[in-house]
Structure 1
């Protein structure tokens, strides 16, 4: 366990998807219960990028759990990453299992207010958050960057909270057709949804290149990365406010 200024962090291990997951829990200052955020990583897996963002959320007053996708591994080989993530993205039950396992860890933390939890994720991690909503989990907000997946027919009607999604205009993975399918699903289900399209940005535009494999269609966009972080923080401020919340800068 480590303490940085007012934030305390620790590693948490838990079973999910037949693996031992290794998450990163960040706790704000104080001793009372606080609203909490379940933070999901890109398909490559949990890295220091998400750990720093969990720490930044804790600095804002949230309990934050950056959850794991691959049993403690970071899949920087694109072929290996796709071989694991494509079947996962095609299986809502597996995604929900990963999400519920992490959510159980977050709810079990004594500092967490179990009635005030949001899910925010990137890529595959965002898709996991959406599947928790489609599974009827009571969340205060869902935010997803790059992970604009659609679900099984009719299940989006179970989403009971606002949904914000962000995507790069030049993202070849989250194409205009995929974006339209996602927004049509949200609209038909009566979800309170928003979509922000970041002009000129590619897939994983929020993720510093140094921590992400260089593959076609993937690229870091520092300005839009900062804007997307502010949009995430604004979503939480609206739907899951904490006392005296400061305006956040994207952690580096």
Structure 2
């Protein structure tokens, strides 16, 4: 039985050489494809495993890089890089489009059927791709209720799902309200899931370095959020019969 395969891909973005993780499903046919964006610390084995899981479900998946191959475990260093990035939609879009170009150029990818899934900063990048009018079939974000420049959400061309912890101090109720107001005003097909009792980065297993306050793992909600992401992909980006049969599953 053949299985999915992975390889490292290098590409330029934001003045850096990014080092992404590409996961390919078994077979040699074209498949729908998914970008996977990391939390602010940068690409880690957590996102690589998510890309691998998506490949097992039948998708081509690229876990993209945001720091030029570095993982910023020091919270101060992470915030020093991410806060200016989050304030600069053009830079976020540049990082996102560079990864999207790599994914579209992969021969196994169906370039007309691509979704973006992102966590934290990676989710903000996915949303900015949507606000820039990128041709995506779905956008899913966790911990990324970022708002964009006035009116640009009207360029989002696909359903948007967002998940957030109810106790997340980084994405408080006021931020939820601003995000939903933006989506409603733009007429986007959107949904928001609030996971009761969860903190910021509730989906991310514990790390062996300091974190900022308000961050914590919630294993049950982490599984639920993953199922919600997979459900969105199943709806908007199905792996069809002619592409190897329907697949489903969670981890």
Which category describes the TM-score, using the shorter chain as reference length? over 0.9
Count of equivalent residues: 247
Task: Give the TM-score normalised by structure 2.
Answer: 0.96
Distance 1:114 1:209, change over 3 A: same
Q: Which residue of 2 aligns with 1:248?
A: 249
Unaligned runs of 5+ in 1: none
Residues 101-151 of structure 1, C-alpha deviation per residue, up to 9 Å, x if partnerless?
A: 000000000000000000000000000000000000110000000011000
Distance 1:18 1:57, change over 3 A: same
Paired with 2:160 and 2:207, the residues of 1 have a C-alpha distance of 30
1:17 aligns with 2:14: yes
Paired with 1:136 and 1:106, the residues of 2 have a C-alpha distance of 17
Distance 1:190 1:212, change over 3 A: farther
Q: Which residue of 1 aligns with 2:199?
A: 202
8 Å CA contact retained: 1:150, 1:182: yes
Unaligned runs of 5+ in 2: none
Paired with 1:54 and 1:248, the residues of 2 have a C-alpha distance of 14
8 Å CA contact retained: 1:56, 1:248: no
1:30 aligns with 2:31: no
Picking from 219, 224, 228, the partner of 2:221 is 224
Paired with 1:88 and 1:7, the residues of 2 have a C-alpha distance of 33
8 Å CA contact retained: 2:74, 2:209: no
The aligned runs of 1:155-174 (5 Å cut-off) are: 155-174=152-171
After the TM superposition, which of the residue ranges 212-221 and 31-40 deviates more from structure 2?
Answer: 212-221
8 Å CA contact retained: 2:31, 2:59: yes
Picking from 164, 172, 175, the partner of 1:175 is 172
Q: Which residue of 2 aligns with 1:60?
A: 57
RMSD over aligned CA atoms reads 1.2
Q: Which residue of 2 aligns with 1:127?
A: 124
Instruction: Please state whether the residue corresponding to 2:162 is helix, strand or coil.
Output: strand
8 Å CA contact retained: 1:96, 1:128: yes
Where in structure 1 do 4 or more consecutive aligned residues deviate above 6 Å? none
Instruction: Please state whether the residue corresponding to 2:99 is helix, strand or coil.
Output: helix
Task: Give the TM-score normalised by structure 1.
Answer: 0.96
